[in-house]
Amino acid sequence: MAKRSSFLFKAVFILLGACSFGQTPVLAKEVVIGVFAYQGERESTADWSPVLSYLNGALPTYQFRLANFDAGGLRAAIAQQRVDMVITNPGYYVAMEYEFGLSRIATLTSPQALSPAKAIGSVVIVRADRSDLKALSDLSGKRLAAVAPQAFGGYLVVARELLRQGIDPESDLKEIRFMGLPMTQIIAAVQSGAVDAGVIRTCLAEQLAHQGALRMADFRVLSPRHEDGFECALSTPLYPDWPIAVTRTTDHKLAKRVARALLAMPDTPGGLSWSVPADYQPVHELYRTLRMEPYAFLRENTPKALLHRFWPWLLGFLLVLVAWAIHTFRVDKLVLRRTAQLRESLNAREAAEARMRGHQEQMEHLSRLSILGELSSNLAHEINQPLTTIGNYARSVLRRQADGRLSPEAVLEACTEIDNEAQRASGIVRRIRHFARKRPAVREPVDVAQLAAEARRLLLGMLMHPPAILIEDVTGTGCDVLADGPQIQQVLLNLLKNAIDAGRDLPTERQGIFLRIESVENRQLVHVIDQGCGLTPDDLSHLFEPFFTTKPDGLGLGLPICKTIIEAHGGRLWAEMNPQGPGMCFSFSLPCHVTPA
């Protein structure tokens, strides 16, 4: 009782002290982030504390707090609305997205990953002396060690690859021994011969070898795969990294602010950062193939499952025809019901994809209008020139008419010049309307050099004092590009506009721009080279991040949109310092399209 009185006294004293200084304490709103702590609470806190500290510093009006859960605890916390945001692996996210309506706002970028969309995979290892095991298909009738039945990178990714090889893990393997964490005990079981093969996450073997805890020569990888730029052993495709998602009840303004903060967050000491939400459709496909939640209902409609569940009815079919008819009717009803549910789910997904494509087209359209807006003053001057010329010739005809000096030759000259200037103004307006119009994306064979020439002509027609733009095409023949022409022209125009801005305040001899088009290893490369002041290494590292800009009045969306367009065409966009002198070199590549014979 004495302790309680002392506490109340101190609380009153603190409140009175705050009032005496004329200040009212402001309590930050608490935001709880639920984390799937698969390695335990201590490891989870150590991994995610840098993200928590950053959010608390970036958004001081909120107090972010971590809450660590196992898989069941995290599901219960979401159902009871005890968390506002969720960080979990891609497998649990897909399941809980369907059950609780989670919405991802960002995807983790790991230092060893190729990209946020290609980060998590598995490797199946065997002892080096097992010459009878070379591929995943050789595991039929063998013993396999894994982490747990629901472990995404520790079992499910490999289970899908086994199904692709024609092996059902539940029936074709002699034994699946689930050993839990840490994964080092799986490696020990393989080495001792307790199991024939083991499933571990990618890069774990390399990390242990680097620490001196493992000899890579003692093991061999089954069905090794190669991903360009990925340095670790791999037996499966790579899947998206962990997402951070908000619940149905999370305030959308908070979600927007957190998304912006995470996209701007620098790398943590461990090399982690955040990117725009990745496409988790490959994870959906994996769960659909394995017929696991949220696609567990597909198990009910397989012949093997029906035989297992309804064998009494099949026996009854041999004895009583009526019982068989009732059973058949019941199964038909279930099939119709489940098919309708699946159709609704697919329709909803297609509608969501259509909305996403519409938003992307809207963003690209706004980007084109932004470029025209920046050049509006020069555009007005350029159109005003032919209009002024037309007016001068018209007034000249009127004066000659008034003075009686109007000859057929003067009328012909004036009308010819008026027609030429009118066609010039019409050409400027036509090119601008063609560039700015909103249209659906259509991919067809295009000539990149011709698109570059049109982009140069459009810029030269809108600028008052345009710099020299030299185009060099050394592609030759045999490399056609299948692309959406206006989108690629938008990328070229954006890069050329940036190059012009880079040399705007420099001497005339450094304002020139060089555009080179070439073919290298079945890809067409385009380089836009300026002679400006270049960028610092720090600016170069953030160049393609949304909302990052080096221009005082820039939005920071042009280059990210260009990067999205090029990657959607199967290419790559990058920037580097000009190797030939001052300035920058922006380059992008597009795959060559082989026309069928």
User: Are residue 466 and residue 482 in the same domain, yes or no?
Assistant: yes
Q: Is 205 in the same domain as 309? A: no
Query: Is there a single domain that holds both residue 457 and residue 536?
Result: yes
- Mean per-residue pLDDT, 159-184: 91
**What's the total number of domains in the chain?**
5
Average confidence (pLDDT) over 92-106: 91
Mean pLDDT along residues 339-344: 86
The yes-or-no verdict on residue 103 having pLDDT over 50 is yes
- pLDDT for position 187: 94
Please tell me whether the peptide bond between 582 and the residue prior to it is cis, using omega within 30 degrees of 0.
Answer: no
What 8-state DSSP symbol labels residue 154? I
CATH of residue 50: 3.40.190.10
315 and 426 both lie in a single domain: no
**Domain final position from 393, 409, 436:** 436
330: CB partners within 8 A, 6+ apart:
none
* pLDDT at residue 221, rounded to an integer: 94
Runs of H (alpha helix) within 375-407:
376-403
More confident residue, 331 or 459: 331
Question: Tell me: the pLDDT tens digits for 245-262?
Answer: 999 999 999 999 999 999
Does residue 234 lie in a domain region? no
| Spatial separation of the C-alpha atoms in residues 369 and 438, rounded to whole Å | 10
Same domain, 99 and 246: yes
Q: Taking residues 376-405, what's their average pLDDT?
A: 66
Residue 568 lies in a domain: yes
Domain end: 313, 332, 361, which one?
A: 361
> Which comes out higher in pLDDT, residue 305 or 357?
357
Is the CA virtual torsion 405, 407, 411, 413 positive or negative?
A: negative
What's the pLDDT at 67?
A: 94
Asked if residue 287 belongs to a domain, the reply is no
Q: Domain check: are 344 and 449 in the same one?
A: no
Is 204 part of a structural domain of the chain? yes
- Averaged over 542-546, what is the pLDDT? 83
Please give the backbone phi and psi of residue 442, each rounded to the nearest 5 degrees, phi first.
Answer: -135, 125
Of 8 and 173, which is predicted with more confidence?
173
Q: Which domain holds residue 310?
A: 295-361
Chosen domain end from 361, 388, 411? 361
Burial class of 478 by CB neighbour count within 10 A (0 to 12, 13 to 18, 19+):
exposed
Q: Which CATH number belongs to the domain containing residue 575 in this structure?
A: 3.30.565.10
The DSSP letter of residue 216 is: G
Residues 6+ apart with CB under 8 A from 128: 217, 218, 219, 220
When mean pLDDT is compared over 196-205, 435-444, 485-494, the highest value belongs to 196-205
Mean pLDDT, residues 32-52 taken together: 90
Asked whether residue 8 carries a pLDDT value surpassing 50, the answer given is no
pLDDT of residue 493: 84
Q: Please indicate, yes or no, whether residues 395 and 306 belong to a single structural domain of this protein.
A: no
Confidence label for 179 from pLDDT (cuts 50, 70 and 90) = very high
Say if residue 430 is in the same domain as residue 456. no
Quick check: is 228 in a domain? no
Residues 469, 549, single domain; the answer is yes
Same domain, 266 and 161: no
The separation between the first and the last C-alpha atoms of the chain, rounded to the nearest angstrom, is 92
* 312 and 388 both lie in a single domain: no
Question: Does any domain span residue 233?
Answer: no
Residues 6+ apart with CB under 8 A from 116: 107, 108, 109, 240, 241, 275, 276, 278
User: What does each C-alpha distance from 108 to 204, 360, 490 come to in angstroms?
Assistant: 19, 22, 30
**Dihedrals φ, ψ of 530, to 5°?**
-115, 175
Cα–Cα distance, 11 to 19 (Å, whole number): 13
The answer to whether residues 423 and 386 touch, using CB atoms and an 8 Å cutoff, is: no
Q: What is the pLDDT confidence band of residue 4, given thresholds at 50, 70 and 90?
A: very low
* Among the listed residues 502, 561, 512, 564, the one whose alpha carbon sits nearest the alpha carbon of residue 533: 502
In a domain, 80, yes or no: yes
Residue whose pair of structure tokens reads 């969306």 in the numeric block: 557
Same domain, 393 and 426: yes
Which residues make Cβ contacts (< 8 Å) with residue 375, sequence separation at least 6? Answer: 459, 462, 463, 497
- Tens-place pLDDT, residues 450-496: 999 988 887 776 676 788 899 998 887 767 888 888 888 888 988 99
Question: What is the percent of the chain with per-residue pLDDT over 90, rounded to a whole number?
Answer: 39
Q: How large is the average pLDDT for residues 201-224?
A: 91
pLDDT tens-digit series, residues 113-160: 889 999 999 999 999 999 999 999 999 999 999 999 989 989 999 999
Task: Report pLDDT for 196.
Answer: 95
pLDDT > 50? residue 1: no
Q: How far is 82 from 33, CA to CA, in rounded Å? A: 9
229 within domain boundaries: no
Mean per-residue pLDDT of the chain = 83
